[in-house]
């Protein structure tokens, strides 16, 4: 049996807000798959939870993020090739952002979403290894993709704790599962200890010292001088979120399902997840403007992994960013590009008699809300022995009528559907 598990990042919208991107997009390949599939909806982490990609992806891979999870920071660190010194280091997901340095008001959480990875690397180098002046502390800063980075707050001699709040106001830590806030005060938040331990207080002090230092160092940085000359927003602050002090201890996915898993992932967080779960990784360059080339690379990687694995998890970032930017046109274009340059050629390459296809999303990023929401996402399973529901198109509303019904948690999807496929392939 072979299965391609295609995850379209943030592709779902909020149907009650009006036409959704999936309804507007011209996507013959996706709609063709839906018409040959059993369909349904998934609350990827759970009803009422607007998840970040990390918890959502662990969940749709079959791991309940409320039982064993340790935050997005360590996952992004693995994706960036960083190790964490347990007990003395805490890893955060970070954003280069634009703030008013006097008031700490956030002008743009992503400094205009036009920071090149090279600019980010130069800015990170100015802060990587800095001494924080308290608690024998220091920071490591590694740029990843665009405005994204990993920051590790450490102490050479004092124990630290990951039980501290975010300085990024857009997401709220609820234990280790961070959720997107529908609205927030646009100011850099003070990191707070989330318990009364000395370790948590010490860590919060170090985070706040890092925030101040990053604003001082980035203010006059040549990259920002050049950006100002080009009329671009400065990357003059670093927002931290989703702290974690160690990696989650999870069963390797191949042992969990008794199947070999490959992964095609574009962003550090999904790369980190695939590594932690022991998947056979194909490395592909980060997304570029040339979608035809990007998706040809991702298709080639998928086919190569299919040769030596039973399941290939493919995570395509495309629709999420325009969702965050509130841009319906670009979100529709992102879906159409995946349909035309990835899915249509994939369907020409795989044998539907022996290779199943499961398509879904990690969460909704409605362009009408410009953030992740708790809306359920559509799901379609096309496989031999699976009777199609006659769903005409891959959209939120159409898939809600499917025979698979509603999965209350993403971690129910793979166990239930792999069991169904095993019966067919047995």
The correct pick among 21, 53, 214, 224 for binding ligand 2PG (CB under 6 A) is: 53
The correct pick among 140, 227, 291, 324 for binding ligand 2PG (CB under 6 A) is: 324
What CA–CA distances, in Å, run from 235 to 111, 167, 210, 214, 404?
6, 16, 15, 10, 46
SS3 (DSSP) at 205: helix
Report the run of H or E that residue 418 belongs to, with start and end. helix 413-425
- CB neighbourhood size of 342 (10 A): 26
- Closer of 52 and 398 to ligand 2PG (Cβ): 52
331 forms part of the interface with ligand 2PG (CB under 6 A): no
298 forms part of the interface with ligand 2PG (CB under 6 A): no
- CB neighbourhood size of 268 (10 A): 25
Q: Distance between CA atoms of 24 and 18, rounded to whole angstroms?
A: 11
Using CB under 6 A as the binding criterion, the count of chain residues that bind ligand 2PG stands at: 8
- 107: β partners: none
167 forms part of the interface with ligand 2PG (CB under 6 A): no
DSSP state, 11?
Answer: B
- 70: β partners: none
* Distance in Å, CB of 170 to ligand 2PG, minimum: 6
- Closer of 50 and 282 to ligand 2PG (Cβ): 50
The two structure tokens encoding residue 77 = 């660190």
- Closer of 200 and 239 to ligand 2PG (Cβ): 239
* Distance in Å, CB of 391 to ligand 2PG, minimum: 28
CA 303 from chain center: how many Å? 23
- Closer of 138 and 176 to ligand 2PG (Cβ): 176
- Closer of 40 and 65 to ligand 2PG (Cβ): 65
Rounded to 5 degrees, φ, ψ at 214 are: -65, -40
* Distance in Å, CB of 136 to ligand 2PG, minimum: 30
Residues 6+ away with beta carbon under 8 Å from 191:
164, 165, 166, 167, 203, 204, 207, 208, 211, 240
Q: Distance between CA atoms of 211 and 190, rounded to whole angstroms?
A: 9
- Closer of 161 and 214 to ligand 2PG (Cβ): 214
* Distance in Å, CB of 288 to ligand 2PG, minimum: 16
User: Pattern of binders to ligand 2PG over 190-209, x per CB under 6 A?
Assistant: --------------------
Q: Distance between CA atoms of 79 and 270, rounded to whole angstroms?
A: 7
* Distance in Å, CB of 151 to ligand 2PG, minimum: 13
- Closer of 36 and 110 to ligand 2PG (Cβ): 110
User: Pattern of binders to ligand 2PG over 4-43, x per CB under 6 A?
Assistant: ----------------------------------------
- Closer of 27 and 110 to ligand 2PG (Cβ): 110
- Closer of 221 and 324 to ligand 2PG (Cβ): 324
Q: Distance between CA atoms of 89 and 240, rounded to whole angstroms?
A: 14
Q: Distance between CA atoms of 153 and 139, rounded to whole angstroms?
A: 5
- Closer of 95 and 355 to ligand 2PG (Cβ): 95
Report the run of H or E that residue 270 belongs to, with start and end. helix 268-276
Contact 164, 204 (CB under 8 A): yes
95 forms part of the interface with ligand 2PG (CB under 6 A): yes
Contact 236, 224 (CB under 8 A): yes
* Distance in Å, CB of 186 to ligand 2PG, minimum: 13
DSSP state, 142?
Answer: E
Under rule CB under 6 A, which residues in 136-155 are in contact with ligand 2PG?
Answer: 148
- Closer of 89 and 320 to ligand 2PG (Cβ): 320
* Distance in Å, CB of 119 to ligand 2PG, minimum: 16
Residues 6+ away with beta carbon under 8 Å from 241:
72, 73, 92, 93, 94, 95, 166, 167, 168, 170, 171, 173, 178
Q: How far apart are the first and last CA of the chain?
A: 9
* Distance in Å, CB of 294 to ligand 2PG, minimum: 16
Task: Count CA atoms closer than 13 A to 195's CA, side-chain side.
Answer: 9
- CB neighbourhood size of 343 (10 A): 27
110 forms part of the interface with ligand 2PG (CB under 6 A): yes
* Distance in Å, CB of 390 to ligand 2PG, minimum: 35
* Distance in Å, CB of 269 to ligand 2PG, minimum: 7
* Distance in Å, CB of 320 to ligand 2PG, minimum: 6
The residues of the shown chain that bind ligand 2PG, judged by CB under 6 A, are 52-53, 95, 109-110, 148, 320, 324
């Amino acid at each position: 049996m072979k299965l391609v598990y295609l995850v379209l990042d943030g592709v779902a919208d909020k149907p009650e807000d009006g036409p959704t991107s999936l309804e507007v997009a011209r996507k013959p390949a996706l709609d063709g798959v839906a018409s040959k599939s059993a369909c349904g909806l998934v609350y990827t982490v759970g009803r009422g939870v607007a998840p970040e990609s990390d918890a959502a992806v662990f969940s749709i891979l079959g791991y309940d993020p409320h039982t064993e999870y340790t935050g997005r920071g360590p996952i992004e660190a693995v994706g960036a090739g960083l190790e964490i010194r347990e007990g003395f280091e805490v890893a955060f997901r970070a954003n280069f952002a634009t703030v008013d340095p006097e008031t700490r008001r956030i002008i743009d959480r992503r400094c205009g979403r036009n920071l090149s990875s090279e600019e980010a690397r130069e800015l990170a180098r100015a802060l990587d290894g800095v001494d924080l002046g308290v608690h024998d502390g220091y920071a490591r800063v590694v740029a990843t993709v665009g405005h994204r980075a990993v920051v590790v707050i450490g102490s050479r001699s004092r124990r630290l704790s990951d039980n501290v709040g975010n300085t990024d106001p857009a997401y709220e830590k609820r234990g280790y599962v961070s959720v997107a806030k529908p609205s927030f005060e646009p100011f850099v938040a003070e990191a707070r200890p989330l318990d009364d331990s000395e370790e948590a207080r010490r860590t919060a002090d170090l985070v706040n010292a890092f925030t101040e230092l990053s604003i001082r160092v980035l203010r006059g940085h040549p990259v920002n001088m050049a950006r100002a000359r080009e009329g671009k927003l400065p990357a003059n602050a670093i927002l931290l979120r989703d702290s974690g002090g160690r990696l989650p201890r999870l069963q390797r996915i191949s042992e969990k399902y008794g199947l070999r898993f490959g992964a095609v992932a574009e962003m550090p967080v999904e790369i980190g997840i695939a590594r932690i779960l022991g998947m056979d990784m194909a490395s592909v360059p980060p997304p570029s403007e040339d979608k035809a080339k990007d998706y040809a690379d991702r298709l080639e990687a998928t086919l190569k992994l299919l040769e030596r694995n039973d399941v290939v998890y493919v995570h395509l970032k495309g629709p999420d960013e325009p969702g965050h930017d509130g841009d319906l046109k670009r979100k529709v274009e992102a879906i159409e590009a995946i349909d035309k340059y990835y899915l249509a050629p994939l369907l020409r390459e795989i044998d539907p008699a022996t290779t199943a296809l499961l398509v879904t999303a990690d969460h909704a990023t409605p362009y009408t809300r410009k953030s992740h929401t708790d809306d359920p996402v559509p799901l379609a399973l096309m496989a031999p022995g699976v009777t199609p529901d006659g769903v005409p198109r891959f959209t939120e509303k159409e898939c809600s009528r499917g025979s698979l019904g509603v999965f209350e948690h993403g971690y129910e999807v793979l166990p239930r559907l792999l069991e169904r496929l095993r019966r067919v392939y047995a």
